């Protein structure tokens, strides 16, 4: 599952509103929807802002998607 899908699932499963998280994340609403829907690439800055908006640690989604495909890395 991609990052934007995990974030979207987290928001929905916690009964949060997308516009509320966009506002708390200081991301323009249209941009937020494009990112969450996978229509635009999620930047590291936006990821950080969304984590802040969700009030979760930056490594909250780490075990879910941040791993090296190169085992020697």
User: What pLDDT was estimated at residue 57?
Assistant: 85
Range(s) of the domain holding residue 25: 3-65
Task: Identify whether 73 is part of a domain.
Answer: no
C-alpha angle with apex 3: 19 to 50, nearest 5 degrees?
A: 40
User: What pLDDT was estimated at residue 58?
Assistant: 80
Six token digits for residue 18:
């997308």
Task: Identify whether 7 is part of a domain.
Answer: yes
Q: pLDDT per residue over 34-61, tens digit each?
A: 999 999 999 999 999 999 999 988 877 7
Which CATH number does the domain housing residue 32 bear? 1.10.260.40
pTM for the model stands at: 0.78
Q: Which residue has the tokens 């994340």?
A: 25
Q: Which helix (H) or strand (E) holds 65?
A: helix 62-65
Task: Identify whether 55 is part of a domain.
Answer: yes
Q: What is the total count of domains within the chain?
A: 1
Instruction: Give backbone dihedrals phi and psi of 42, rounded to 5 degrees, phi first.
Output: -80, 120
Q: What separation in angstroms does the CA of 18 have from each of 21, 50, 59, 66?
A: 5, 11, 21, 24
What is the average per-residue pLDDT within 14-31?
Answer: 96
């Amino acid at each position: 599952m991609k990052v934007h899908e995990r974030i979207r699932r987290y928001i929905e499963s916690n009964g949060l509103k997308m516009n509320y998280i966009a506002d708390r994340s200081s991301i323009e609403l249209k941009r937020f929807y494009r990112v969450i829907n996978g229509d635009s690439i999620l930047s590291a800055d936006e990821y950080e802002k969304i984590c802040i908006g969700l009030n979760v640690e930056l490594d909250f989604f780490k075990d879910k998607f941040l791993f090296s495909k190169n085992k020697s890395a």
